Structure 1
Amino acid sequence: MTKRVEVAAGVIFRGDGRFLLGQRASDTFYAGYWEFPGGKVEAGESPADALIRELDEELGIRVRAVRPWITREHRYEHAHVRLHFFEVAEWEGELHDHVHSALSWERVEAPAVGPMLPANGPILKALRLPRRMGITHAGEVGAAAQLAQIDAALAHGLKLIQVREPGMAAPELGAFSAEVVSRARQHGALVVVNGGVDVAEKVQADGVHLSAAQLMALERRPGLEWVGASCHTRAELERAAALGMDYVLLGSVLVTPTHPGQAGLGWERFAELVRGLPMPVFALGGLQPDDMERARRAGAHGIAAIRSSWAQP
């Protein structure tokens, strides 16, 4: 049985939004492949401490803060690795590479280098996922008002919308979703439809969003590009991971207007539930835009919201 090796890897961003990749040297396994910088977790180290040490040794930079992100496992011919990915939130110093044959700053939308080390490949798709998700509530405010709010939010940079309208009949939901998709396309934004795969496919949405009940009854991942689900428990999160979901929503983190008497998970419990998951997790429930940093420190990819997504900036 191959022993599992714990590895810490860092997603390092610079001011223009590009992230850093390194090309493996000629004297290593998978020579010439590209990877996220990092290295092996030594005995007695936490993955976060290992990453800070490795980036100092490999690149000569001093890391001031990291955010936990996702954890993935991969079996190579020579090793079984578990990679703990962190976002490097703050760092300083000049890059002086000591282990790679080359470094490259890449665009999230379209990395130009390759091939990627197999264990790192799925991370590129996760990086394409926007950090904010706006969830519609046209049933509450009216379709015309919601579309006006969507136009304003798209103009101010929103890149991910979940159409969630449980009160709409199928024909109405299809027409409304198609209108949202049309408007989002003009801004390069993604749209996922909460409900059925058939509606999402018919309106040519980017993906489908499943309820927790749909997730638990699912046998295999639908074939759309983006498939996500709502989760409330660790069992649901693990089911989403096993089925290869591209993202999940977890909440409610805080008390919400929809459920005023129901206590939220809180950030400590949220962090416990998402630890070690292989896909991005959006925090949901009573959150405002300025909760983003707190959410990401707890391991969230970003935040999803209904009302605060459509408030005037």
Structure 2
Amino acid sequence: MTTPRIRALALCIFHHDGRILVNEALDPVTGKPFLRPIGGGIEFGETSAQAVLREVDEELGLSITDVRLLGTLENIFTYAGTPGHEIVQVYDAKFVDASVYELLHLDAQESDGAAFVAKWLALDSITGETPLVPAGLYELLKKVVLPDGCSVISNSAV
């Protein structure tokens, strides 16, 4: 059994036309679905911004630009029957290749080789049935104003 620890994560919000890019997954114990942005663990010796660049490259094989910190969340949860605790740096960025925004989904891969599909999901379709994680992310996105003066989540989407 491993000693419980707090895990440092960096996640990236990609948004376009009222949609965000997420991975839909299931808790293997409860069977409940959840949505999570692209990203993952921060490795020793790298900044959270460097982790976002690496994770997006590893998972999607794509380059990003305009990486900007949106905020920090603390997430205490249970997954697969095991308690977890994360400190999450949440970033916003843009894909260098603008054609990515026109795709319905992107084939992706976890660092352990497991394949998953990242899909563009309308923000107004997010419900408590399939929550956006980590806890507090949706609320953070409602507060964020982007450099162009727009919000990630418009008032009509909430």
Is this a same-fold pair by TM over 0.5?
yes
Q: Partners in 2 of 1:36 and 1:30 — Cα distance?
A: 19
Greater relative contact order (Cα < 8 A, sep 6+):
2
Q: Deviations over 1:254-309 (max 9, x none)?
A: xxxxxxxxxxxxxxxxxxxxxxxxxxxxxxxxxxxxxx46x9xxxxx89xxxxxxx
Gap runs ≥5 in structure 2: 101-105, 153-158
- After TM superposition, which residue ranges in structure 1, 4 or more long, deviate above 6 angstroms? 25-31
Q: Partners in 2 of 1:71 and 1:31 — Cα distance?
A: 25
Could you tell me which of 132, 145, 153 is aligned with 1:131?
145
Could you tell me which of 7, 12, 15 is aligned with 2:14?
12
Change (3 A) 1:63 1:113: farther
Aligned residue number for residue 108 of structure 1: 123
Q: Partners in 2 of 1:52 and 1:101 — Cα distance?
A: 19
Three-state SS of the structure 2 residue aligned to 1:45 is coil
Q: Deviations over 1:228-255 (max 9, x none)?
A: xxxxxxxxxxxxxxxxxxxxxxxxxxxx
Scaled by the length of structure 2, the TM-score of the pair is: 0.67
**In the alignment, does 2:78 pair up with 1:64?**
no
**Contact 2:70–2:144 (Cα < 8 Å) also in 1:** no
**Residue identity in the other structure for 2:117:** A
Change (3 A) 1:91 1:97: same
Q: Which of the pair has more CA radius of gyration? A: 1
Structure in which a larger fraction of residues adopt helix: 1
Gap runs ≥5 in structure 1: 133-291, 296-300, 303-313
Q: CA deviation at 1:17?
A: 3.4
**Contact 1:24–1:30 (Cα < 8 Å) also in 2:** no
**Residue identity in the other structure for 1:109:** D
Q: Deviations over 1:108-130 (max 9, x none)?
A: 3342695226x424212332347
Q: CA deviation at 1:37?
A: 1.1
**In the alignment, does 2:94 pair up with 1:79?**
no
Between Structure 1 and Structure 2, how many residues are aligned?
136
Aligned residue number for residue 96 of structure 1: 107
**Contact 1:52–1:62 (Cα < 8 Å) also in 2:** yes
**In the alignment, does 2:54 pair up with 1:53?**
yes
Could you tell me which of 107, 124, 134 is aligned with 1:120?
134
**Residue identity in the other structure for 1:73:** E
Q: Partners in 2 of 1:44 and 1:24 — Cα distance?
A: 29
**Contact 1:63–1:90 (Cα < 8 Å) also in 2:** yes
Q: Partners in 1 of 2:52 and 2:29 — Cα distance?
A: 19
Identity %: 21
Change (3 A) 1:27 1:82: same
Q: CA deviation at 1:11?
A: 0.4
